[in-house]
Amino acid sequence: MPSTKYIFVTGGVTSSLGKGIISASLAKLLQSRGYSVTIQKLDPYINVDPGTLNPYEHGECYVTEDGAETDLDLGHYERFLNMPTSQANNITTGRIYQSVIEKERRGDYLGETVQVIPHITDEIKYRIKLLASSGHYDFIITEIGGTVGDIESLPYIEAVRQMRWEMGNRCLVVHLTLIPYLAAAGELKSKPTQHSVKMLLEQGVQPDILVCRTERHLSENLKHKIALFCNVEPTSVIESIDTDTIYNVPVLMKAENLDKVVLRKMNMPENQETDLVKWEEFLYRFKNPNDEVTIGLIGKYAELKDAYKSISESFIHAASVHQCRVKVKMIHSEEIEPGNVKDVLKGLNGILVAPGFGERGIEGKITAIQYAREEKIPFLGICLGMQCAVIEFARNVLGFKDAHSTEMNPRTSHPVIDIMEAQKKISCKGGTMRLGAYPCEVVEGTKAFDIYGIKSISERHRHRYEFNNKYLEDFKKAGMIASGINPTDCLVEIMEIPSHPWFVGVQFHPEYKSTVARPHPVFVAFVKAALDNK
């Protein structure tokens, strides 16, 4: 669309300053003024997507409606904006090069030497503008992953420089930096920010706005000093102070006028006043709990807080609905054994077994599920967690002692979880799982139906294995039923135990669809069950 505006968010000094949250917060403010906004993340690594990265490398892999395996920042974008993102919202260097090399092999470059400039930068610019071509957006916010000065982010900064040069003030650069507090000097220090702006300038980009991450308030004097040395207006030096929840950041950015400065610099009207009423209600309920529950989150990455990001955020959304505090206790599945399960899971009001892949920690998960089932503790199993619930039931209720998923034991005599037919001939690992949104029919009269209140739902997926329908009758007779089924291929999407207070396993990932404006019904109901179980 000819009038779409482009906002670039770069980072300097260190990683982990929260570019994703700043991008999402700015987008939220512009959205609340009536503008349509989307956010895109450009990741400088060479993997085509983060689907092949393990959580130690990159935290959670977030899945979009259209089945893209993406950076976890896209989860923040969706949770803040309550709008779906897509494959076009996350581009990596791997994907850029893949497409340029494919074009070269097809002969599209007609004998030219294919180079970083212009071919790679053109491809980057094409991917940025592609989002605008839908004509839906007033603003596209593009977050550039990594830190200015990284070798691998050079082509991205160069693409930003070219777009600025080509489009003038239809483009704006917001640079996020750190203002460290030096205890020995008793002072906030601006030098690292000056250096990182110099680094951007060396690459031909003058930032328009500086968002300064800090643990202490910036004085007006310091803002002026930063403005002078970095060649920006003093009103364009925005303080981003540490805060206890990411959901405060839109409110803090509003107080700092980030959206107003952006609009003024881009010659755009302020439109209506920012409307954060619902957002602030959500925050109020979250920060003023009347009750508390503790949920055990059992997985093999318990020490990594980013590995289950969307699950933790979904609990925050559900907590606000019930105006209660949900304490999520991370429990390492490898630490759970039949001998200690009672002690390790003591005091939990609900148990969630996380998604995952591979053998490690699997027996601990199964042991925890047996405990939740027998002790009647509310249980939610997500993806692998649901598959483990099926395995546990097969072993301990149906008496199939070696029941397993063929992912872990291809020779089991009871493959209650088996590879999907369509997956059998696939050998490449990247982007080949059953990914993205699929429909599910919910059976009336079940807990699943109580949760959703409607028959036809759609949820997002990321798996290769499924419930083996040969066992459906055995399970039903013994008290575990399929309460959600894919209408076209009969794949079991939800399993539950009607005689248990709340025992639900889902093959899909409800956590990818929970937002501030629309907390996910599965989490809302699970937290309610945990409150009832106190």
Report, as residue numbers or ranges, the catalytic residues: 383, 509, 511
Regarding 431 and contact with ligand GLN (CB under 6 A), the answer is: no
Q: Give the strand pairing for 415-419 and 350-353.
A: unpaired
Where does this chain touch ligand GLN (CB under 6 A) — which range of 111-119, 187-195, 297-305, 463-471?
Answer: 463-471
Q: Provide, rounded to whole angstroms, the least separation between the CB of residue 497 and ligand GLN.
A: 20
Q: How many chain residues bind ligand GLN (CB under 6 A)? A: 11
Q: Provide, rounded to whole angstroms, the least separation between the CB of residue 355 and ligand GLN.
A: 3
Instruction: Choose between 5 and 463: whose C-beta lies nearer to ligand GLN.
Output: 463
Where does this chain touch ligand GLN (CB under 6 A) — which range of 256-264, 286-294, 309-317, 458-466?
Answer: 458-466
Measure the CA–CA gap between 391 and 395, rounded to whole angstroms: 6
Where does this chain touch ligand GLN (CB under 6 A) — which range of 120-128, 311-319, 354-362, 369-377?
Answer: 354-362
Contact 318, 520 (CB under 8 A): yes
Q: Provide, rounded to whole angstroms, the least separation between the CB of residue 264 and ligand GLN.
A: 45
Q: Provide, rounded to whole angstroms, the least separation between the CB of residue 389 and ligand GLN.
A: 12
- The rounded radius of gyration (Å) of the Cα atoms in the chain is 25
The single residue among 136, 225, 464, 533 that binds ligand GLN, judged by CB under 6 A, is 464
Q: Provide, rounded to whole angstroms, the least separation between the CB of residue 356 and ligand GLN.
A: 5
Instruction: Choose between 295 and 354: whose C-beta lies nearer to ligand GLN.
Output: 354
Count of other CB atoms within 10 angstroms of residue 31: 22
Regarding 465 and contact with ligand GLN (CB under 6 A), the answer is: yes
Regarding 123 and contact with ligand GLN (CB under 6 A), the answer is: no
The single residue among 383, 398, 495, 529 that binds ligand GLN, judged by CB under 6 A, is 383
232: region left, alpha or beta (phi > 0 left; psi from -120 to 50 alpha): beta
Regarding 357 and contact with ligand GLN (CB under 6 A), the answer is: yes
Q: Three-state SS for 415?
A: strand
Instruction: Choose between 296 and 355: whose C-beta lies nearer to ligand GLN.
Output: 355
User: Tokens for 19?
Assistant: 């570019």
DSSP secondary structure code for residue 324 in this structure: E
Contact 417, 390 (CB under 8 A): yes
Measure the CA–CA gap between 492 and 508, rounded to whole angstroms: 10
Where does this chain touch ligand GLN (CB under 6 A) — which range of 107-115, 169-177, 360-368, 462-470?
Answer: 462-470
Regarding 520 and contact with ligand GLN (CB under 6 A), the answer is: no
Tell me the DSSP string of 260-325: HHHHHHTT----SPP--HHHHHHHHHHHS-SEEEEEEEEETTTT-TTTTHHHHHHHHHHHHHHTEE
Where does this chain touch ligand GLN (CB under 6 A) — which range of 13-21, 107-115, 268-276, 349-357?
Answer: 349-357
* Residues 6 or more apart in contact with residue 533 via CB below 8 angstroms: 349, 350, 376, 377, 378, 501, 502
Q: Provide, rounded to whole angstroms, the least separation between the CB of residue 381 and ligand GLN.
A: 10
List helix spans (H) across 397-463.
Answer: 447-452
Regarding 435 and contact with ligand GLN (CB under 6 A), the answer is: no
Instruction: Choose between 213 and 463: whose C-beta lies nearer to ligand GLN.
Output: 463
Measure the CA–CA gap between 334 and 510, rounded to whole angstroms: 25
Tell me the DSSP string of 154-183: HHHHHHHHHHHHHHGGGEEEEEEEE--EET
DSSP secondary structure code for residue 423 in this structure: G
Instruction: Choose between 148 and 485: whose C-beta lies nearer to ligand GLN.
Output: 485
Contact 195, 210 (CB under 8 A): no
Regarding 409 and contact with ligand GLN (CB under 6 A), the answer is: no
Regarding 521 and contact with ligand GLN (CB under 6 A), the answer is: no
End-to-end CA distance of the chain, in Å? 54
Regarding 355 and contact with ligand GLN (CB under 6 A), the answer is: yes
Contact 158, 121 (CB under 8 A): yes
The single residue among 5, 79, 395, 463 that binds ligand GLN, judged by CB under 6 A, is 463
Regarding 384 and contact with ligand GLN (CB under 6 A), the answer is: yes
> 63: which strand partners?
69
User: Tokens for 477?
Assistant: 């007779």
Instruction: Choose between 327 and 464: whose C-beta lies nearer to ligand GLN.
Output: 464
Instruction: Choose between 235 and 469: whose C-beta lies nearer to ligand GLN.
Output: 469
DSSP secondary structure code for residue 87 in this structure: G
Regarding 322 and contact with ligand GLN (CB under 6 A), the answer is: no
Binding site for ligand GLN (CB under 6 A): 355-357, 383-384, 387, 407, 462-465
